[in-house]
Structure formats: structure tokens, C-alpha cells
Structure 1
């Protein structure tokens, strides 16, 4: 059975799709996955309306799934990275890591902790169950 590979994302308002897609490709590579293995992009529901996220998903050929706050909070204890600035803004240690873990499910593990570009963050979680 093919593993479920989730790219969790966070971004600043107005982040361009090209920056997000390039970061996803880099995170996948660092996690040891080909683009074809990617199951979807996962971002917090509070990012609804961010055109760059939707355009990046389209360009990568995967769905964009917006994760409700409760699901992000449930995944939060499993993050590897904690940014006090992000905690102050969102209540989450890492937006990208919680989105990846929540998107890939409760049995998932991080394969690549959060990496950042100028305006976005990405983490890769996998569920092999």
C-alpha cells in the first residue's frame, strides 16, 4: 500500500504560488520522496482565501485541504519545532508541522521537520498505516 504523504504549509499573506511549490519540492526531496508520492497540501483553515496555496496545489497536481483549528491543536503535541512567535500568533508550535501531521492522520510521523523560505514554511508527514 502506498504511504500517505502530506505537505503541511504555513505562509505569510500574499505568498506567491511559485515560492510555495518550490519549498514543497525541496521538503519532499529532503524527506526522500518524489513529487509523485505527494498526497496533498495541507494548511490551516484560517489560511482560506490565500491564492498562493490554491495555485501551488494546482501546479503540483494535488488537492489543497484546509485543516480545522481543533485538528491542528490535536496534532500540536507531536511537533518537533516550536516558534514562540508562531505560538503567540496561532497557539501552535509550528503551523506547517501541525498541518502535515493533522493531514496525514493520527498515526503519522514527521519525515521532514519545518523548513522555511522567505514567506512560507513546509513540513512533510507520512502515514504508512
Structure 2
């Protein structure tokens, strides 16, 4: 299962989220972000447009997640270096006790900096 972790600023639109996912160049089975972002109109519109389910994670689900990139602002706010990467990793493991996941590449950022995306996959045991 491949999951796109999505991070974005409050002013981002569904089109910004779509642009971030498009930059990855990969197909995914689900979207993931922290619950507060998963409930926003931009994320809901994006999910509806893509037909992908949204995995709403709790902040403690991503805290401490080892990421390939590190934003000091995100580290201070969420306890992990990249919201998109951490959400992708946690989302790929979601619902599978003891499951492991791996990032397929570092996060990508839209040119305007409004949205980020990273893709992770669940590893088979």
C-alpha cells in the first residue's frame, strides 16, 4: 500500500495539494495528514476529486518519526522533521500492528511553498 503524506499551509487550496502530489510522479492508494489538516475544506475537496481515502492521524502518531528532511518549524510544532514524510510513513502503517514502512523519496514542495507531499509504502513482513 502506498500513501501520500500531505502537508500544507492554511492558505493552500485543493489545487495546491494536487500539484504537490503530481510532483511525486507516483500513484497512491490513500492520503494522510494530521487530523486538523485532514478535516480542512482543501483536503476534503482534494480527496473527493481524486477519489482517495484520507487517513487522519493524531499528532502523537507522527511525533518522533524519522524523516529524510527536516524543517525546524515543523520539528518544533510536530516533533518530526517533515509533516508530509511522517504522515506518509505513519499512514502506510495505519491499521497494521507491527507493520513497517519506508519513504520512496524525500518530500516535494510546490513552487509557491504552500504544499508538500511524500510517498511511503508499507513493507511486507
Q: TM-score range by the shorter chain?
A: 0.7 to 0.9
Higher helix proportion:
1
Structure 2: unaligned runs, 5 residues or longer: 94-98
- C-alpha distance after superposition, 1:26-66 (max 9, x if no partner): 21x1xxx3x3xx11110012324311111111111101111
Root mean square deviation of aligned Cα: 1.5
Could you tell me how far 1:104 is from its partner in structure 2?
Answer: 0.3
Of 115, 120, 123 in structure 2, the residue corresponding to residue 125 of structure 1 is 120
Q: Within 5 Å, which residues of 2 pair with 1:10-21?
A: 10-21=7-18
Show structure 1 runs of 4+ deviating over 6 A: none
In the alignment, is the contact (CA less than 8 A) between 2:59 and 2:78 conserved in 1? no
2: distance between equivalents of 1:55 and 1:44?
16
The residue aligned with 1:109 is 102
* TM-score scaled by length of structure 1: 0.83
